[in-house]
Amino acid sequence: MRKAIATVVRVTGACNAGYRAGDTIVVDLETACIDKEQSGKLCLWAVSAILANLSRIRPGEQALASCPDPATGLGGNVIFSVVREQRDEGAGQPQ
């Protein structure tokens, strides 16, 4: 499975979704779906920020994504490291 992984690297304030450093969201790039078995909580605002950044990085690259909550009210701002994994050597080739 080709995938992208978003990992929480920093939380400022108290995230309403309860994200903590190390939490992950895994996107299966072959089906364009969130892998619910490998992902934690899914905040729609966080997912939208992750997907917007995912579309601009190439395999092997990394970007930072920030949820839109500025952490000035009751919520918290969450920063994700988004990595699009490189395709495995020989993937998709007959053996």
Q: Give the pair of three-digit tokens for residue 91.
A: 């993937």
The full set of domain ranges for the chain reads: 3-84
Contacts for 34 with CB less than 8 Å, ≥ 6 apart: 25, 26, 27, 28, 42, 47
* Cα–Cα distance measured from residue 44 to residue 2, given in angstroms and rounded to the nearest whole number: 22
Give the pLDDT of residue 83. Answer: 95
Average pLDDT of the residues of the chain: 85
pLDDT top residue among 6 and 76: 6
- pLDDT score recorded for residue 93: 46
* pLDDT at residue 44, as a whole number: 87
* Residue 94 pLDDT greater than 50, yes or no: no
Q: What is the pLDDT of residues 47-93, one digit of tens each?
A: 999 999 888 899 999 999 998 876 666 778 899 999 998 876 445 54
- Which pLDDT score is estimated for 54? 86
Phi, psi at residue 66, to the nearest 5°? -120, 130
